[in-house]
Chains A and B, each alone.
Chain A
């Protein structure tokens, strides 16, 4: 901690000494000490509501138990939540929460990552004494295009309401009615469709808010979790990708204080779809002049084409800022070995200005690694120019090599670019996602690339933050990553790894079924 000494206080949490900065709440001190504390309404990214009454602690010298989220630590404070009194309080707190909860875990999508289940296993495990009828409330309430609400499961922690008030500042949600008839809902006529709405699903500690996209697709205990970054814009939010051997299923924000805090935008959550075979470019689409059946052959075709061109000014390279620093290094160096490229056309989505920002996370630059591209081209003394120039020069080019967008939903200028491809001699289009409009062009060879998480690498976001993406096994067979492409261009042999997805065809059908 870089704080000055006078800004620090030491306290004792469950017998462990811990030093935190002044004005830290007890619940944060518990987390700093690594001590377990039950809570539902408290969320580090939101204001304190203090309404679930579960984070009760005993402070030495204070006869009344206090809530840890709204009580600040003081020098020398001795705090515990291990006393019998607190254990009983927490157990009763849980009992109150479960009193009118439907306990429909077997059919609830939250099961496995539900706060009620977790705390019950940690602090509860009692025999319920409630033998009265439960309060009936609304179920399967659609809150808009993305979210479904079950008000019976809701424990009224108000996290979602505070999120729309404090973070998205869109104010769609409120708690209506009083007492145990209280229900979360949207204000008259409003729908919960803001750009960040799905964060409410993440922070909902129970199965009250569920995502229409994810619900009923997978049981969460069958999912593995990988860390990555979102490539939807230059913010590059830290994310978790939930996947198993049936494919990728969900994107959730990974807390990152230096970047996206606890949130991400809803658009970025579609990222997982671009990793699954359905949206992917799964095999080489040969062109008139390059009749290749595998990626390797197609790249060899590129190698031959480059070697045969005498006028090196007739070779153009068009790149998006969607690839990692390592990708660019491997790609540009191998191309440079083959031909002298003077200009690199920078494909930047012109619809949005680079500096657009919604004051939360979404940025106008829809490329996660514009900074990385700039630095790599600078290091390799390449001249990066705006792709608009291509309008005039495309017809002079014999060969155009393209690193296409991975996330083409955000690229509004696709049509314009496709029109330019028509003018060029031969186009080698590398991308991990399928762009159907290209199939009609006879001069374009489409070569599949591994996706973001199959390639891995470093991405540099808008403010220069370097973030690494770990490499996951490949989903599609026979595809080459950039270092393998470089090898082929140099005439070396490559050994391809086996894919990890199970029976792919069946799974694709399953996706179709779920989409209905």
Chain B
């Protein structure tokens, strides 16, 4: 069931270095790409149907096609600010195969004719930053980066920039603001980054996995890439599985694989024979699936959307019956309250309100009306703001409360904290 295409050589420690990477056809695809026409590469990525792996799932080739021909310098930014709770795939990709990312980035930069790219890496990823930095140096030394790459006449420079740990900087315009040296706050759209992005230049922001997959498309061609996955969601994807499974971790599987198989076959099922309660299929922002939905869903963009959720960043959080959904929601709301940038009023005030409401429901100091209010507030937060953080906070609320209503109602009327004793004995009262 696992198909190792991107992660084929991840078990080999030498794959981290340029020398080791070259042993396994490293940078061969770059050489091949440099002989192609840039437009041809964009067309290949379009045809292959590669969709953004960061969360939104927007077709990468289509995004590249938005770049205007206004003679302005174009920038490529790799979004390595992996902050979505539950996601840890980009970190593995950068740690194990930094050159795979760099190769993908140079090919993508060649395709969109960009002389400069940045890797915006999450502030907490010190080790990954060190690894990628070293790989960039190696690539420069081997003329894989810099002026006149491998004598092709194409020049490209690459830098790595470390964020300061804000979740919001994973949103592409927030990332651009941060990269520009401003406060990491999303920008109003339109204009979209492809038209006016970094320093008001046309800019493409792609996820680590998306850029790495470009190399695979060059290697295997459109047909080869489309061999796996479904018609509308082609290719393989890395899923970060966490929660109450026996073997959590990163798994590369073709899109369209049933979630049931991922949990019960790949990840060894649930711990101590516990019962599946719910699954968050695409990072904490994705609406939660109940057991029935989780057992029938296929892991691709369309089927998850049909079930009212989303693939997101591919972080599968498995929840068994030992967990209180009320407690989980409170943790999530604490997160979104903490991470809201504070720019748009509904999100700034709403996330705080949701956090306070879920706190009091968990503490048992809430009323039944507060459960209704939770949904009401969330309903008036979605689709009202500049970026999707407000939606990301509202979706879990709406899905948690609608699918596990009984639990919320009983929590609102009794002190649920007694039923689900916190593991570390921490107080539920958070700031």
Contacts and interface: CB of A to CB of B under 8 A. Distances in A.
Same complex for A and B? Answer yes
B342 A53 contact: no
A180 B183 CA distance: 16
A97 B188 contact: no
Interface string A111-134: 000000000000000000110110
Interface stretch (A88-96, A314-322, A359-367): A88-96
A179 B188 contact: no
Contact of B183 (A70, A96, A175): A175
Interface in A140-182: 155-156, 174-175, 177-182
A179 B341 contact: yes
B342 A50 contact: no
Contacts of B373: 129
Contacts of B183: 174-175
A53 B353 contact: no
A156 B337 CA distance: 16
A54 B356 CA distance: 24
A50 B346 contact: no
Contacts of A385: none
B350 interface: yes
B173 to A, nearest CB: 12
A130 B342 contact: no
Contact of A93 (B346, B352, B369, B383): B346
Contact of A156 (B190, B348, B360): B348
B386 A156 contact: no
A139 B384 CA distance: 30
A78 B176 CA distance: 34
Contact of B349 (A50, A56, A178, A180): A180
A493 interface: no
B294 to A, nearest CB: 29
A52 B183 CA distance: 18
A135 B348 contact: no
Interface in B371-386: 373, 376, 380, 383-386
A52 B345 contact: yes
A334 interface: no
A100 B346 CA distance: 12
Contact of A132 (B188, B339, B346, B357): B357
A175 B353 CA distance: 21
A179 B345 contact: no
A178 B352 contact: no
Given A92-B346, A96-B346, A182-B342, A50 B353 contact: no
Interface in B209-254: none
A24 B369 CA distance: 44
A175 B185 CA distance: 11
A65 B360 contact: no
Given A70-B188, A175-B183, A179-B338, A53 B344 contact: yes
B360 A179 contact: no
Contacts of B337: 179-180
Contact of B346 (A53, A70, A135, A155): A53
A69 B343 CA distance: 15
A51 B380 contact: no
B21 to A, nearest CB: 39
25 contacts: A49-B343, A56-B384, A64-B383, A70-B188, A96-B348, A97-B345, A99-B349, A100-B352, A129-B369, A130-B353, A132-B353, A132-B356, A156-B342, A156-B343, A174-B183, A175-B183, A178-B338, A178-B339, A179-B338, A179-B339, A179-B342, A180-B337, A180-B348, A180-B349, A182-B342
Interface of B: 166, 168, 183, 188, 190, 337-346, 348-353, 356-357, 360, 369, 373, 376, 380, 383-386
> Which 8 pairs across A and B sit closest by C-beta, in order of nearness?
A182-B342, A180-B352, A179-B340, A92-B380, A132-B356, A96-B349, A99-B349, A50-B188
